Amino acid sequence: MFDIQDIEKVADLARLKLTDEEKATFVEQFQTILDYFQKIQAVPLPDSVTLDTDNIQAHLREDHAEASGVSPDSFSQYLESGHFKVPKVIE
């Protein structure tokens, strides 16, 4: 269960300044999300659903690199010498 202290900790880590009203709203929203997870966990699964960990490779496809056809120049104004230039976040 989420409480105001949990929200304040997350906000502090994210360097967010939240009002008391926003904190209360986030507590309610996070609790709603957790309630949905509990509903999902309560759904019974058929006995036939198992994970064959010994044969998991049979279900995966090979990974192949392919050109995307998209260049950074086409979608970012923050490109400098082929690299993304972003604001400094750590001093």
Task: With CA atoms as reference, report the closest residue to 9 among 1, 58, 18.
Answer: 18
Asked if residue 29 belongs to a domain, the reply is yes
Residues 12-57: pLDDT tens digits? 999 999 999 999 999 999 999 999 999 998 888 777 656 666 666 6
Asked if residue 38 belongs to a domain, the reply is yes
HEC letters along 4-31: HHHHHHHHHHCCCCCCHHHHHHHHHHHH
Reported as a pLDDT band with limits 50, 70 and 90, residue 69 is: confident
List the CATH number of the domain containing 17: 1.10.20
How many residues are recorded in the chain? 91
Asked if residue 68 belongs to a domain, the reply is no
Asked if residue 51 belongs to a domain, the reply is no
Q: In sequence order, what are the beta bridge partners of 84?
A: 79
Domain count of the chain? Answer: 1
Asked if residue 32 belongs to a domain, the reply is yes
Range of the domain at 21: 4-42
Reported as a pLDDT band with limits 50, 70 and 90, residue 86 is: confident
Asked if residue 84 belongs to a domain, the reply is no
Asked if residue 17 belongs to a domain, the reply is yes
Global pTM value: 0.47
Asked if residue 15 belongs to a domain, the reply is yes
